[in-house]
Amino acid sequence: MCWQKPASLNKYLTLAIFSLLILPVFAADLQSNPDLEGVASDLSSAASDDDSDWDWSGITAEDTTPAEVDSKPVLPTPGTRLRDTTIASPDYSASTKPAMAIFINMPTFEVIPSQKNAEMHPCSNCHQWTKGDTSPRILKRPHDDFELKHGLHGKGKFWCMTCHHLEGSGGLVTLEGEKIDFDDAYLICSQCHVNQARDWVYGAHGKRIGNWQGTRQVLNCTACHYQHEPAHKPRAPMEGPVIRMGLERPEHWKPLGRGAGNNGHHHQEVWQ
């Protein structure tokens, strides 16, 4: 009996020594293998916020410093992952609309013009006669028919004049003071909702209409989100499916909460 002990001990010892020898080799392999590293970083970036690694800092006023303009990042080639590349710094001088800057190097798309409020559009219908009062106050007619429920903005952070201006025929204005038509409302939204704007351009957000191929025709942000209260309100669903024969619910059927079957059957515990 007593001679067995050293034998098994030997086995474990050998294993331990072997693993001690072999582990650093693996570790070194992992460090040196760029493929594995890429996977690891991919995983970590996917685990964190999907949009966090997308660098919007490129749109800051890089063009003011000529040294940085020279070191423009490589443009994303079609088919490459966006997170693998960085967006090229915008050329403000080339774009007529500075607010357009974040859409540079993105795929082309066509925006369906927003539906305009026939009575209120354009602002100059009334405001060529009456001077607009731009001071923050409690709104009176005819502007009292809505309440600004735009996220945090309604709570005294933003005021009408943050997005609207009254010069000329009136319209929208960016935070930087650039005047924008109502049809380009997405430029206003994308100032803050940059991740949504990117998804919208690439197709993961928003409503494309017409074809599945060719130029992407998308609805403007304001077609689906009422700009002063962007959260969607609940709506009645359309009719459900016909209940299959034999699976009709009792009159006072109530779901049993988590674990309730979809058909009134009570599954036995063993099957779950």
82 binds other proteins per the rule CB under 8 A:
yes
Q: Going residue by residue from 100 to 139, which x/- string records binding to other proteins, judged by CB under 8 A?
A: -------x--------------------------------
Q: How far is the CB of 37 from other proteins (least distance, A)?
A: 19
Phi-psi region of 264 (alpha: psi -120 to 50; beta: other; left: phi over 0): left
**Whole-angstrom distance, CA of residue 130 vs CA of residue 147:** 22
Measured from the Cβ of residue 82, the count of other Cβ atoms closer than 10 Å reads 13
Which of 118, 238, 266, 270 touches other proteins (CB under 8 A)? 238
Task: Output the smallest distance, CB 83 to other proteins, in A.
Answer: 7
Sequence length of the chain is 272
Handedness of CA 80, 83, 86, 87 (dihedral sign): positive
Nearer to other proteins, 155 or 249 (CB): 249
C-beta of residue 190 within 8 angstroms of C-beta of residue 104? no
49 binding other proteins? (CB under 8 A) = yes
Residue 203 touching other proteins (CB under 8 A): yes
Is residue 67 a contact partner of residue 211, using CB atoms and an 8 Å limit?
no
For other proteins, the closer CB: 21 or 236: 236
202 touching other proteins, by CB under 8 A: yes
Query: Helix, strand, or coil here: 208?
Result: strand
Among 150, 165, 193, 216, binds other proteins (CB under 8 A): 216
Pick the binder of other proteins from 72, 116, 143, 249 (CB under 8 A). 249
**Residue environment code for 213-246, b if the CB has 16+ CB neighbours within 10 A, otherwise e:** eeebebbbbbbebebbebeeeeeeeeeeeeeeee
The residue count for binding other proteins (CB under 8 A) is 45
Residues with Cβ within 8 Å of 187's Cβ and at least 6 positions away in sequence, in order, are: 97, 99, 100, 172, 174, 180
In the complex, minimum distance from the CB of residue 163 to other proteins, in angstroms, rounded to a whole number: 23
CB of 14 to other proteins, least distance (A): 37
Residues at the contact surface with other proteins, assessed by CB under 8 A: 46, 49-50, 78-79, 81-83, 107, 202-214, 216, 219, 224, 232, 234-243, 249, 255, 257-262, 267
